[in-house]
Structure 1
Amino acid sequence: MYLLTLPEPYQSPRHPVPINATIVHALTLLHPMVPQPDGGRMFRCLTEFPGRTPGCLVPLSTLTYELDGGMLWHRIGDWERVVEAVVHVARNRECDAMPMGLPQLTAVLIGGGPSTVHELHHPDGSRSQAGSADRQQHLDELTGHIRRLVAEGPFWPGDNLVAPPREPWTMTYKPYGS
């Protein structure tokens, strides 16, 4: 499984556009440079949520949705510190990562939860909406990129990974609005 984060955009000499998205293997959340046990609890949320399949890509916004729209993050940990650490690990090449400069619409769709509908305003004054089907289409495209990359070799999550915490025995999930 893979985590997609949308950190504050940053410049990289290896990329022609600002980086506004980073994909890492779920196990990178267990990297010793990632705050623990927060990273380990996020790993469990990512990997233990019912219905997840091997090789799937899960945006941080989906975890937020699954944690009652973010109301349950306090039980998991400081996601901002974890994401900052994961991006730092990725930028320092201490794990395999896919840093990307996503188009604005893609970043907006992925940054919203799975059921978010966005009102789009176009330069000609017209409006349209983009929602869950559009978001899923972009996630499917990114998952395809991951599959092609993984076909060349495994995605390295880093070295000296820590064990995820055993407590709580069952993670608390409550998809937003349920």
Structure 2
Amino acid sequence: MRVLIAYASGFGATAEVAKEIGKVLAESHTVEVQPMAKVQSLAPFDAVLLGSSIRAGRWLGGLPRFLQRFRRELETTPFAIFAVALTARTLEGSRRLLAESLPQLLQRFPELEPFASQAFGGVLDYDRYNLAVRMVMRRVAQSEGLPTSGLQDFRDWQAIRAWAQELSQQLQAKEMT
């Protein structure tokens, strides 16, 4: 099966997650990983995986634009969605984030239904932020009881790989039908 993994990433954490999922899927499928903004067509692909970071409860603009642009193709192409967000650093946070954010995103596209979705913890990298973002992120981190300087990586690579394995199996099953 030919799979596109398209991502919207603000500071690179989501791109890294997309690439890791791509490595796992490439063991059983033909995979292409690229930023959503560079995707020209879904025609060459049998399935699509969309990844986006979520900030302040909002998906990066690239994902809603992608869904709008390719909504007709996605009606007939199996697709899954993953999110990367600071609030998804715990299992409960991940569940809550998906329960709140995914329906909000998809209400604009009622004809679209992903076959899978997941949320993963994100990264705080204060050295990469400009002053305004750094100040906002420090306030957010402080309110969550998290460190307010340096690099804090909350991605669970084992969970990311496990989900990618599940996706691979689901895609193989879809290929058989």
Q: Same fold (TM over 0.5)?
A: no
TM-score by length of 1: 0.29
Between Structure 1 and Structure 2, which shows a larger proportion of strand residues? 2
Determine which structure has greater relative contact order: mean sequence separation of CA pairs < 8 Å that are 6+ residues apart, divided by chain length.
1
Between Structure 1 and Structure 2, which shows a larger proportion of helix residues? 2
TM-score by length of 2: 0.29
